[in-house]
Chains A and B, each alone.
Chain A
Amino acid sequence: MLTVKGLTKQLGAFHLGPVDFELNDEVLVVLGDNGSGKTTLLNLITGILNPDAGTIIKDHNVINSVPIERRKIGYVFQNTCLFPHMQVRSNITYGLRDPTDKASLQRVDHLVKMLGVADLLNREVFALSGGEQQRVALARTLATQPEVLVMDEPMKNLDFKTRRRLVSELKNLFTLLQLPTIYVTHDPREALVLGDTFLTLHKGRSVPVENLSQLENLLRQEYGLEPNEIHQRIKPPLPLQRKSAEE
Chain B
Amino acid sequence: MSLIYRATILALSGFLFLFVIIPLLGVVARVGSLNVLEALKRPELLSSITLSLETATVSTTICALTGIPLGYVMSRTAPKLSALLRIVMAIPLTIPPLIDGALLLNVYGAASLFGRAGFVLTQNPVGIVLAQTFVASPFVVLTAASAFERLDPNYEYVSRTLGKGPGQTFLKVTLPLTKTGIAPGIVLAWVRSLGEFGATVMMAYNPKTVSIQLWEDNAIGGMAMMLPGVFLVLIVSCSALGLWFWLSGLQNPRKHWLI
Query: Which residues of A come within 8 Å of B, CB atoms?
Result: 46-48, 67-75, 77, 79, 81, 83-85, 94-95, 97, 126, 140-141, 144
Contacts and interface: CB of A to CB of B under 8 A. Distances in A.
B157 interface: yes
Interface of B, secondary structure class, is helix
Q: Which of A73, A81, A95, A144 has the most CB of B within 10 A?
A: A81
6 contacts: A74-B161, A75-B161, A77-B154, A81-B155, A83-B158, A83-B177
A144 B163 contact: yes
B161 A69 contact: yes
A68 B155 contact: no
6 A-B pairs with the lowest CB-CB distances in the bound complex, closest first: A95-B162, A68-B160, A75-B161, A81-B158, A85-B176, A81-B154
Interface in B159-215: 159-165, 172-173, 176-177
A140 B154 CA distance: 15
B177 A46 contact: no
A97 B161 CA distance: 13
Contacts of B161: 46, 68-69, 71, 73-75, 141
B164 A69 contact: yes
B177 A141 contact: no
Contact of A126 (B159, B162, B177, B257): B257
Nearest to B162: A95
Contacts, number: 60
Contacts of A140: 162
Given A81-B152, A84-B177, A144-B162, 19 more contacts: A48-B157, A67-B165, A69-B162, A69-B163, A75-B158, A79-B152, A81-B157, A83-B155, A83-B159, A84-B257, A84-B258, A85-B177, A94-B159, A94-B162, A94-B164, A94-B172, A95-B162, A126-B257, A141-B161
A141 B160 CA distance: 11
A49 to B, nearest CB: 10
B90 to A, nearest CB: 29
A95 B162 CA distance: 5
Contacts of A71: 161
B257 A77 contact: no
Nearest to A146: B161
B190 to A, nearest CB: 24
Contacts of B164: 69, 94-95
B237 to A, nearest CB: 31
B230 to A, nearest CB: 41
A97 B154 contact: no
Given A69-B161, A94-B162, A79 B154 contact: yes
Contacts of B152: 79, 81
B165 to A, nearest CB: 5
B110 to A, nearest CB: 49
B165 A69 contact: yes
